[in-house]
Structure 1
């Protein structure tokens, strides 16, 4: 049982699956923190009953805001050796998280990013693949990082990385913002193969074309504010 790593799980209306996700994680990690981002269902209670520390936003703010709430919570406590970010919808494999933590310890890298391009993505819709390809091109251009994947919610962050990362993008655009922080802060980084399982449930919860457009607008707005 890994007691030096905390797993941070943002969630929004995930009551039907998050209990199983938490229990699977707690078979390997002693500390799981779920941030309920204003869910309208019983996600908070289900996660807490499954053994997670549960935090709650009174209204829905976005996944980036939920992760930052989790980072702030860990910072107030005394930052753990490593923090894993892990999606609540069941598309990540716990064994990948375990392998990434071990790889992070061996290498000492500050940020280890999961990559489905180096691993695999099962039952990925064609439209999702095209959207991710476009997002990857944008991320490479805007961050300067030679990434093979982007917007993969499975990551391992060192104590130093969590101290430096302050997410201002509340929604899904936070993923590219996080990569930009890595690029300009001098944090060491690497990628690690992961498997993403696109179930009927996770596909229904995934990003629509409109959400992808909103991400692009958020990132463009941020770049314009930074330049002014």
Structure 2
């Protein structure tokens, strides 16, 4: 499996994920050996833990936000020889490697540029905390672009895409707003997009660190500000 995925790069934005990042990256590297972690000004031992893992480390000296970390990671990965496919992957263990395998397989075999994970398929939404589920559904209703593209979970951080997308990717928004910008870029560039049902693992660690209520408010505010733009 590893040799078959030598043209795939996982891009992992990291901010204060010291307790779990080494284990998450070690597990992912068993299937995807090429991983770049962008330590976005962490104040804990994230950088040291990344160095102790199979992943490569790129650092922001200060915290610039998730959008900036993803952009830095994609720029690093797309410059590597043989890089053909790219995946935005969470640092906290919520994303599943098996889902990434399925998404990459689709990019290899179907006429697609980008595959976006969705928590709202095959009854999987039951695992999503209720408040977050309501917020994410509301954002979709507010977003004309998201509905036009047929996306049901635009704020899912698990995305796989080809070099066409990577070469033109230019994320300028940080925080939660970068997810809406991703949708806008898909629409603007007419990238061929599809959704893939994925499982998000909500552990005690990710629930505690994620501050789901605050994030939910931010996501909803972003949807209200940007969702109606065409």
TM-score by length of 2: 0.89
Query: Can you give the 5+ residue segments of structure 1 that lack an aligned partner in the other structure?
Result: none
- Structure 1 residue 50 displacement after superposition: 0.8
Partner of 2:137: 133
1:55 aligns with 2:58: yes
Q: Which residue of 2 aligns with 1:114?
A: 117
Of Structure 1 and Structure 2, the greater strand share is in 1
CA 1:155 to 1:223, structure 2 compared with 1: closer, same or farther past 3 Å? closer
The answer on whether the counterparts of 2:115 and 2:160 sit within 8 Å (CA) in structure 1 is: yes
Conserved? CA contact 1:10–1:37, under 8 Å: yes
Q: 2: distance between equivalents of 1:94 and 1:57?
A: 26
Matches within 5 A, 1:203-222: 203-215=207-219, 217=221
TM-score (norm 1): 0.90
Q: Rate the CA distance shift 1:175–1:78 in 2: closer, same or farther, 3 A.
A: farther
2:60 and 2:126 mapped to 1: Cα distance? 32
Looking at structure 2, the residues matched to 72 and 54 of structure 1 have their Cα atoms a distance apart, in angstroms, of 13
Preserved CA contact (<8 Å) 1:3 1:30? yes
The worse-fitting range, judged by mean Cα deviation, of 202-211 and 1-10 is 202-211
Residue 86 of structure 1 corresponds to 89
Inter-partner Cα distance in structure 2 for 1:122 and 1:11: 27
Say which of 79, 100, 104 aligns to 1:101.
Answer: 104
* Cα contact 2:33–2:54 (8 A) shared by 1: no
Equivalent-residue separation in structure 1 for 2:132 and 2:53 (angstroms)? 31
In the alignment, the residues of structure 1 paired with residue 172 and residue 215 of structure 2 have an alpha-carbon distance, to the nearest angstrom, of: 18
CA distance in 1, matches of 2:134, 2:88: 24
CA pair 15-175 structure 1, distance change in 2 beyond 3 A? same
- The answer to whether the Cα contact below 8 Å between 1:110 and 1:160 also exists between their aligned partners in 2 is yes
Residue 153 of structure 1 aligns with which residue? 157
SS of 1:195's equivalent in the other structure is: coil
Distance 1:221 1:138, change over 3 A: closer
**Unaligned stretches of 5+ in structure 2?**
none
Residue-by-residue CA offset, 1:31-89 (whole Å, 9 max, x unaligned) = 01101111111111111211101111111111111001112212443571100111011
Residue 133 to residue 217, structure 1, CA distance change in 2 (3 Å): closer
Q: Which moved more, 1:68-77 or 1:96-105?
A: 68-77
- Report if aligned partners of 2:96, 2:199 keep a CA contact under 8 Å in 1: yes
Partner of 1:202: 206
Cross-structure match for 1:46: 49
Moved more, 213-222 or 79-88: 213-222
